[in-house]
Structure 1
Amino acid sequence: MSTLEPARIAPGGFRELGPINWVIAKAGARAIRAPRFTLFNVLGQHKLLFLAWLPSAGLLLGPLGKLPRKDAELVILRVAHLRDCEYELQQHRRLARSRGVDRETQARIFEGPDAAGLTDRQRVLITATDEFVVTRSMSSETWAALSAFLNRTQLIEFCMLAGQYDALAATMATLRIPLDFPD
C-alpha cells in the first residue's frame, strides 16, 4: 500500500472505539512502542468483531501457541512478503528480531525456499506458506514434508496462522491502514 493513499477508514479514538477497545488499542500501542496501534484503532471500530478476533490472533502469536515463535514469525514474514503488506512487514520485522530471527535470516525468508543458508525446516515452512497463500492449499509432497517437522496441532495452527495473516494483509490493503512507524 502506498503511504500516499488515504485511509479508507480513519483510525478511531475513544468515541469510535468505545472504552474497552480504546484501552486495548492504547495497551497495544505501548507494547509496540508507537503513539498508536493503527490496526487496532481501525479494526476496533467494529467493537464486537474486534473483541472476538483478538483472543484468536493473540493465541497465534503468544506463548500459548503451539508453533515455536521463530516458526510463526517466519510464516508471517513470508505471507507479508508474498502479499506485499508493508504494515505486516513493518510490525513483524521488529517482532521477529526480538524472537531470534535476525535480519540475515529475514532476507533469506524474503528470497524464498532456495535461499542459501536456510535450514531444511525453514525451507519446508517457506514452501508450505507459499503454496498455502498462492494456491489456497498444499500439495501432498509439501504436506508430507511439513508433517515431518510439525505435529497435528502445529499443522492446524500453521494453516490458521497463514490464513489469518493472509486475511489481515487483504484487509489492511483494502482499508489502506496507515503505517505505525515512519520508517
Structure 2
Amino acid sequence: MTTPSEPRIAPLAPPYPEELGALLKKMTPPDAPEILALFRVLAINPALADRSMPWGGYLLGRKASLPLRDREIVILRVCTRCGAEYEWGVHWAAFAQAAGLGEREREAIVSAVADLEVLAPRDRLLLQMVDALHDKADVDDALWQSLSAHWTPPQLIELLMLAGWYHAISYVCNAARVPLETWAARWGQAR
C-alpha cells in the first residue's frame, strides 16, 4: 500500500488562468496550508470539480448529521481499506486528533490485525460497516440492526454515502497517483 511517486495525472501548477484560480480558491479551506494536490488534479475537469464541491462540503461541513468522530472513523477506514495513503494521510493529519482519536484507537482503525476491543462498541460498528461495504458492497441484517440502534435512518444513509464518496476519492488518489502532501501523515506513522 504505497503511492508511487510519479503522478499519472499531474496536479495543475500555477500560474492558473483566472477562472481556474477562482475555482481552486473556492475548493480550498481557508486554513489549508496550500491548495491540495487532489484539488489540483480534480480541477483538470473543472465542471466535475465545481459540481463535486457542494457534496464534499456537505459531508465535511456543519450541516452534516454525523459527528466529527464518526465521520473520521469511516473516512480513515475506507482510505485504509482502499490503500489510499494520500487521502488517509490528509485526514489523519488534519482531523484525527480533533475527532478525539487516541493513538491506540487510530492504530486499530488503520490495521487489519489490531485488537478492535480498544475501540468503543459504537466505533467498532463503524469499522464493521466499512469492512462489509468494502468486501461485499452490502451490510448484513445483524450488522444493520446494530447500526440502527445507534444512528437514525438519515444518519445511516449519510454513513453509506460517506463511505462511497471516500471510496471514489480513493480511486482518484490511487489511479491518478496524486502526489502526497508534504505535511500529511504517512502509513509508517500509524503501522
User: TM-score of the superposition, structure 2-length normalised?
Assistant: 0.86
| 1:84 paired residue number | 83
| 1:110 paired residue number | 110
Unaligned runs of 5+ in 2: 186-191
User: TM-score of the superposition, structure 1-length normalised?
Assistant: 0.89
In 2, Cα distance between the equivalents of 1:17 and 1:137? 41
Kindly indicate whether residue 150 of structure 2 is the aligned counterpart of residue 149 of structure 1. yes
More helix by share: 1
Given the superposition, is the C-alpha separation of residues 9 and 17 from structure 1 closer, same or farther in structure 2, using an over 3 Å criterion? Answer: farther
In 2, Cα distance between the equivalents of 1:93 and 1:121? 20
In 2, Cα distance between the equivalents of 1:16 and 1:179? 26
In 2, Cα distance between the equivalents of 1:22 and 1:116? 42
Kindly indicate whether residue 52 of structure 2 is the aligned counterpart of residue 53 of structure 1. yes
| 2:123 paired residue number | 122
In 2, Cα distance between the equivalents of 1:17 and 1:85? 30
State how 1:165-176 maps to structure 2 within 5 Å.
Answer: 165-176=166-177
In 1, Cα distance between the equivalents of 2:45 and 2:160? 25
Given the superposition, is the C-alpha separation of residues 15 and 6 from structure 1 closer, same or farther in structure 2, using an over 3 Å criterion? Answer: farther
| 1:38 paired residue number | 37
Kindly indicate whether residue 18 of structure 2 is the aligned counterpart of residue 19 of structure 1. no
In 1, Cα distance between the equivalents of 2:104 and 2:36? 27
In 2, Cα distance between the equivalents of 1:62 and 1:104? 27
Give 1:9 deviation, angstroms. 1.3
Unaligned runs of 5+ in 1: none
Given the superposition, is the C-alpha separation of residues 152 and 136 from structure 1 closer, same or farther in structure 2, using an over 3 Å criterion? Answer: same
Given the superposition, is the C-alpha separation of residues 140 and 16 from structure 1 closer, same or farther in structure 2, using an over 3 Å criterion? Answer: farther
Given the superposition, is the C-alpha separation of residues 74 and 171 from structure 1 closer, same or farther in structure 2, using an over 3 Å criterion? Answer: same
In 2, Cα distance between the equivalents of 1:3 and 1:60? 25
User: Are the counterparts in 2 of residues 6 and 176 from structure 1 also a CA contact under 8 Å?
Assistant: yes
Given the superposition, is the C-alpha separation of residues 6 and 16 from structure 1 closer, same or farther in structure 2, using an over 3 Å criterion? Answer: farther
